[in-house]
Amino acid sequence: MINDPEFEAFMEDLLDCGGAYDTGEFTEDGEPIYKFNMDILKELRPELYEVFMEELDADLLHLYELGLVDIDYNENLEATFSVSEKGRQYMETGILDDYLKENEKD
């Protein structure tokens, strides 16, 4: 379990402001799983919101480069991401985690 006072204070702040909430679920290691309210983070913790968005963009680009997601654009050039056929095959066969570990982003 994470026993880091700085992390605990960070999460307590996010929970108190509504920027995060405990899902009531746990990881295999027994750590609580949190979800984030991005609208609240954008308003109350804009720096953290930007970090999350940059990481999300980098992760989506990496998945696209690996051929695991498709990107479609509408007439307003708004992007929609979906799991590609390759991504579906990897998920269905249960080898997606191994493939992602072998192809970690830099």
Residue 2's pLDDT band, with cuts at 50, 70 and 90, is: low
- Whether residue 5 has pLDDT greater than 60: yes
pLDDT in the model for residue 4: 84
Q: What is the pLDDT of residues 29-84, one digit of tens each?
A: 888 899 999 999 999 999 999 999 999 999 999 999 999 999 999 999 998 999 99
Contact of 82 with 76, CB cutoff 8 Å: no
Q: What whole-number distance in Å separates Cα of residue 103 and Cα of residue 100?
A: 5
pLDDT in the model for residue 9: 92
pLDDT in the model for residue 1: 53
Q: Which two tokens stand for residue 59?
A: 């992760």
pLDDT in the model for residue 7: 86
pLDDT in the model for residue 89: 92
DSSP string, 26-82: E-TTSPEEEEE-HHHHHHH-HHHHHHHHHHHHHHHHHHHHTTSEEEEE-TT--EEEE
| Phi, psi (rounded to 5 degrees) for 105 | -75, 155
